[in-house]
């Protein structure tokens, strides 16, 4: 495989188009690298967003479960949300 690339580079140099070939190769490589970086970044933020949603949902369910447990234990009335005794 390496000898094929060497032959192609030598042919490009012989015909005077080595600069164009190198520019095209650099463009293709940079496009692929930037696409991979972009997809990885978007994937990371999607995973973070889903994790936050999951944690929010779990916290809400735990809070609802505590409220339900309190209602069943003490007759169904919740404590006041604010303490106005002082």
pLDDT confidence of 28, banded at 50, 70, 90? very high
- Say if residue 86's pLDDT is above 80: no
Position 6 in a domain: no
Give the model's pLDDT for residue 84.
75
The residue with greater pLDDT, 52 or 62, is 52
Considering its fold, how many domains does the chain have in total?
1
Q: How far is the C-alpha of 12 from the C-alpha of 4, rounded, in Å?
A: 12
Within-domain flag for 34: yes
Mean pLDDT throughout 26-47? Answer: 97
pTM value > 0.85: no
- Dig out the tokens for 24 from the structure: 């095209």
* Residue 47 structural domain: 19-72
Greater pLDDT, 74 or 19: 19
3-class secondary-structure state, position 83: coil
Please indicate, yes or no, if residue 61 is contained in any of the structural domains.
Answer: yes
Residue found by looking up tokens 């069943």 in the block: 72
pLDDT of 67 > 80? The answer is no
Residue 52, domain member (yes or no): yes
Q: Quick check: is 78 in a domain?
A: no
Please indicate, yes or no, if residue 7 is contained in any of the structural domains. no
Q: With contact defined as beta carbons under 8 Å apart, do 78 and 71 qualify?
A: yes
Residues 57 and 65 sit within 8 Å (Cβ to Cβ): no
> How far is Cα 6 from Cα 1, in angstroms, rounded to an integer?
9
């Amino acid at each position: 495989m390496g000898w094929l690339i060497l032959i192609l580079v030598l042919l490009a140099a012989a015909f005077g188009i080595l600069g164009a070939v190198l520019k095209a190769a650099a463009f293709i490589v940079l496009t692929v690298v930037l696409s991979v970086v972009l997809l990885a970044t978007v994937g990371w933020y999607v995973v973070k967003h889903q994790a936050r949603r999951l944690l929010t949902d779990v916290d809400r369910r735990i809070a609802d479960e505590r409220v339900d447990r309190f209602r069943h234990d003490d007759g169904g009335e919740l404590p006041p949300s604010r303490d106005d005794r002082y």
